[in-house]
Amino acid sequence: MDRNNPSKSGCMQGISDNAKVALDKICTIIANTIETDAVYCLGYRNTSTIMNTGIFIRGNQSEHIHFYLVVFVKVKRKNSLAKLNQEIRKRAGSHTTATFLVHTTAALQEIKGKQCTIFFTGSSNK
Q: How many CB atoms lie within 10 A of CB 35?
A: 12
pLDDT value of position 49: 63
Where residue 125 falls among pLDDT bands split at 50, 70, 90? very low
**92: nearest Cα among 43, 40, 26:** 26
Report the pLDDT averaged over residues 27-44: 90
Report the pLDDT averaged over residues 13-34: 86
Report the pLDDT averaged over residues 2-16: 54
Higher pLDDT, 112 or 119: 112
User: pLDDT digit string (tens) for 81-96?
Assistant: 888 888 888 888 878 8
The torsion defined by the Cα of 101, 78, 66 and 44, in degrees rounded to 10, comes to -20
- The CATH class that applies to domain 17-124 reads alpha beta
pLDDT value of position 69: 92
User: pLDDT digit string (tens) for 44-72?
Assistant: 888 876 655 566 555 556 678 999 999 98
Q: In what order do the strands lie in the sheet with 96-104?
A: 38-53, 56-73, 96-104
Write the single-letter amino acid at 11.
C
pLDDT at 21 over 70: yes
Give me the residue spans of the domains in the chain: 17-124
